[in-house]
Amino acid sequence: MKRVAVLGSGVVGRATGLGFLSKGHDVIFYDVQDVILKKLVTQGYDAKHIDFLDTNESDIFFFVISTPTENEKINLTYMMSAAKTLGKKLRDRKDYFVIVVRSTVLPGTTENIIVPIIEKASNKKAGRDFGVSMNPEYLREVNAEKDFKKPWVITIGTLDKKTKKIMGEVYKDFDCPIYYVSIKEAEMQKYVHNLYNATKIAFFNEMRLVSHCIGVQPDKIFEITADSAEAFWNKKYGLRNRGPFDGMCLPKDTQAFFSWSKKLKIKMNLLKGVIASNNIFESFWHKTK
């Protein structure tokens, strides 16, 4: 059993804490919002305001703090404030503990921003006095608790071997593949995960727009595509480092369809970007060959 503190008890934090409780771990929820705390306490869970955080009650501290995008930039204000608060309270801690960033943050954030704040506030050194991990979440909002308890994959980025061992023990009772990577790779992977989902939705929405413009039924077409396209049934399709897409079909067909759509005055910004991106990568590929 591990003693877990969840800093930030919204949808993801709640799902994380309840998931660990279901596996027998000791969990304390922390937040700044009284509404969230009152609800958790009413339901029988140990929940406290962050001001009353006792760092001796937990050994693993999960950051599940909001990182909103404002004016097209990530806002780390809440995350940095929580890191400073936790760091100050950890100053007198004698034994080893682990800090886990679970919030979605840009690559480099944990090591370049969060860790230095905690080190300065606690007067301790990462990798020596405490461990650091980045553990991205893959929870759907409406199924967050269910998704945490039955994950399809777990990714753990760590700074040192001791932290890797501890995080492995935390997740040992979860029945799914566990991937161990560096902290920056874990941060990057979460964005690749989200951006791929966003791109796939945007692609089919763009195809839906074209379908309606020419009077065909997109849903019927998409159902066939799900069976015909290798990118659907071969999950490794496109992952290997084989350079830009080429061959007899993809370059000519992307360009032909884009030119045709322009004649029909249909804006296809995603397809335009796909062609441009392939051309840019082609130049990069030849330089590195």
Q: Which two tokens stand for residue 210?
A: 């074209």
Q: How many CB atoms are located within 10 Å of the residue 49 CB?
A: 12
Instruction: Give the β-pairing of 60-63 and 97-101.
Output: parallel
Give the CA angle between residues 63, 65, 67 to the nearest 5°.
125
Q: Is 249 an active-site residue?
A: yes
Dihedral sign (CA 69, 75, 78, 83): positive
C-alpha to C-alpha distance for 232 and 249, rounded to whole angstroms: 17
Q: Show Cβ contacts of residue 175 under 8 Å, excluding neighbours closer than 6 positions.
A: 150
Give the CA angle between residues 18, 90, 8 to the nearest 5°.
30
Find the catalytic residue in 35, 142, 239, 249.
249
Q: Show Cβ contacts of residue 270 under 8 Å, excluding neighbours closer than 6 positions.
A: 199, 202, 203, 206
**How large is the angle between the packed helices 250-263 and 269-288, nearest 10 degrees?**
150
For 31, 144, 206, 252, 271, the CA distances from 256, given in Å and listed in that order, are: 54, 42, 16, 6, 11
Do 156 and 164 touch, CB atoms closer than 8 A? yes
Q: Show Cβ contacts of residue 29 under 8 Å, excluding neighbours closer than 6 positions.
A: 6, 9, 13, 14, 17, 37, 40, 45, 46, 47, 48
Torsion of the alpha carbons at 116, 117, 122 and 126, rounded to the nearest 10 = -30
Please give the positions annotated as active site: 249
